[in-house]
Amino acid sequence: MGLRMNMYETRLSASSMRTRRAYLRLRFLTVATLSAALAPTLPAQYGFADLGFPNTTGRGSSNLQCRVYYPSAQSGQNAPILERKGGFPTVVFLHGFLTLGREYPAIGEAFAAAGYVCVLSDTARFSNVTQRDDGVALYPALLTANAGSGLLAGAIDPGRIGLFGYSMGGGNTLEILSQNVGYVCGLCMAPVASPSASKITVPLALIHGEGDTIVPWEPSSQAAYDAATLVRGLRLFYRMNADCTHLNVASLASSSTRDREVWERVLRVTMGFFGRFLRDDSASLERVLGNDARSEARLRALQVTMQTPELWSRSEARIGTDFQISLAGEVGVGALFLGAPGSGIATPFGELLLDAASVVFVRADAIPTSKLLPMFLSIPSDRALISTEFALQGFAQSSDVAPVRGLKLSAIRVRATVKG
């Protein structure tokens, strides 16, 4: 494709792009349409309702009381839920000791405003064991509600349900994920210690502050991160400094600017994590792994283990600009390939998501100890390139030793259309 390589950027040759443009336009999918379909919905308003779900597991509360926030065309309690084909991505939240889910409205409101159904568990104020059992039972209960005729009928995407929790609920998030009941990913805010993290296989994120004097970060979040070696995908520990306490990490303290800023960052990382694993929105990783996440002044350490490399874009593809991409992987080689989107071809390095006949090597470089490699694809100021569509897939070292020295293709491709 007429690519000119150097250490930090690659240029698309306008002449060579024009010669293959007819071919590419025939082969490429309608990228802009697909990207729009995957992008987060931001409804202007959201509703909430207090619901009870029958517990059919025989363990925990007989009635699973929850406050549920959801996208709506009007604000207020019991407002009608918006319709979405296939349902909305859904998160279940487990509260801390002595509280109930309804006492975390900032969480429910933020997720509903971003196009999620957010289920705040309202049981087990005092019981760690009951909360764990209820968290397990909520997964099948939501599937039943989704298949029924009530408020949540058809509102939940059954393949996109995540779990997260705070303090006691964070520890129980680790316990529940270790049982592999169906949640596709999980996040913990200042979790109490759990001995079960070593059994977790789904993507996992932990957020904790050094100012937490109630649940210290080292024997809880650090221990969980170190133990969770079976995680398939991303394993992350976002540790903040002493300004991050046991209360403001979950929006329970907001009287000071410091408290509000801490919560804003925690929420940003949280939304980015679920955006990636419940929406397949790779650009959300900028708030989790990228420069956005690392620019936080209160960040003390960001620990990342990449079982599968991740690739995302940080800008739009426009003529006369650098299309910015980030590749995250383990320390070692990192490479970028360009081509038409493909239906998926099994290879020794994972699934190739580009059309094999059109794949072009773009560049390779060393991924540093930060495990983040920024890359740039320079697009000439040539209006003939407008509407040219392309896709990118990364290739990097992973934490796996198999299949070929830990080298893997990224789990998601970046798709873009050149704009004027």
Task: Tell whether 173 and 67 lie within a shared domain.
Answer: yes
Task: Tell whether 271 and 357 lie within a shared domain.
Answer: no
Only one residue has tokens 């025989």, namely 58
- pLDDT score for 45: 87
User: Is residue 327 a contact partner of residue 308, using CB atoms and an 8 Å limit?
Assistant: no
Q: Is residue 191 domain-resident?
A: yes
Task: Tell whether 270 and 353 lie within a shared domain.
Answer: no
- pLDDT score for 377: 87
User: Is residue 352 a contact partner of residue 420, using CB atoms and an 8 Å limit?
Assistant: no
End position of a domain, from candidates 280, 296, 326:
280
Boundaries of domain holding 362: 3-37+309-417
What number of CA atoms fall less than 13 Å from residue 234's CA on the CB side? 30
Q: ω into residue 105 within 30 of 0, thus cis?
A: no
pLDDT, tens digit only, all 420 positions of the chain: 333 333 233 344 433 333 233 223 322 222 222 233 333 444 568 999 999 999 999 999 999 999 999 999 999 999 999 999 999 999 999 999 999 999 999 999 999 999 999 999 999 999 999 999 999 999 999 999 999 999 999 999 999 999 999 999 999 999 999 999 999 999 999 999 999 999 999 999 999 999 999 999 999 999 999 999 999 999 999 999 999 999 999 999 989 999 999 999 999 999 999 999 999 999 999 999 999 999 999 999 999 999 999 999 999 999 999 999 999 999 999 999 999 998 899 999 999 999 999 999 999 999 999 999 999 888 899 999 999 899 999 999 999 865 566 899 998 999 999 998
Task: Tell whether 326 and 398 lie within a shared domain.
Answer: yes
Q: How far apart, in whole angstroms, are the C-alpha atoms of residue 272 and residue 130?
A: 30
User: Is residue 319 a contact partner of residue 341, using CB atoms and an 8 Å limit?
Assistant: no
Q: Is residue 382 domain-resident?
A: yes
Q: How many CB atoms lie within 10 A of CB 16?
A: 12
Q: Is residue 289 domain-resident?
A: no
Q: How far apart, in whole angstroms, are the C-alpha atoms of residue 338 and residue 186?
A: 32
User: Is residue 70 a contact partner of residue 134, using CB atoms and an 8 Å limit?
Assistant: no
Q: Helices 257-279 and 105-113: crossing angle, nearest 10°?
A: 50
- pLDDT score for 406: 86
- pLDDT score for 110: 96
Task: Tell whether 185 and 226 lie within a shared domain.
Answer: yes
Task: Tell whether 117 and 60 lie within a shared domain.
Answer: yes
Task: Tell whether 256 and 148 lie within a shared domain.
Answer: yes
Phi, psi angles (nearest 5°) of residue 109: -65, -45
- pLDDT score for 15: 37
Task: Tell whether 270 and 346 lie within a shared domain.
Answer: no
Task: Tell whether 365 and 391 lie within a shared domain.
Answer: yes
Task: Tell whether 63 and 138 lie within a shared domain.
Answer: yes
Q: What is the CATH number of the domain that holds 321?
A: 2.20.130.20
Q: Is residue 60 domain-resident?
A: yes
Residues 363, 364, 366, 372: is their CA dihedral positive or negative?
positive
Q: Is residue 301 domain-resident?
A: no
- pLDDT score for 405: 65
Q: What is the total count of domains within the chain?
A: 2
Residues 86, 106, 314, 294: is their CA dihedral positive or negative?
negative
Q: Which residues contact 241 (CB under 8 A, 6 or more apart)?
A: 209, 210, 211, 298, 299, 300
pTM: 0.89
Q: What is the CATH number of the domain that holds 83?
A: 3.40.50.1820
Q: Is residue 175 domain-resident?
A: yes
State both tokens at 180: 């592999």
Q: Is residue 285 domain-resident?
A: no
Task: Tell whether 108 and 254 lie within a shared domain.
Answer: yes
Task: Tell whether 120 and 227 lie within a shared domain.
Answer: yes
Q: Is residue 408 domain-resident?
A: yes
Q: Which residues contact 196 (CB under 8 A, 6 or more apart)?
A: 174, 175, 178
Strand order in the sheet with 310-313: 3-5, 10-12, 372-379, 321-328, 310-313
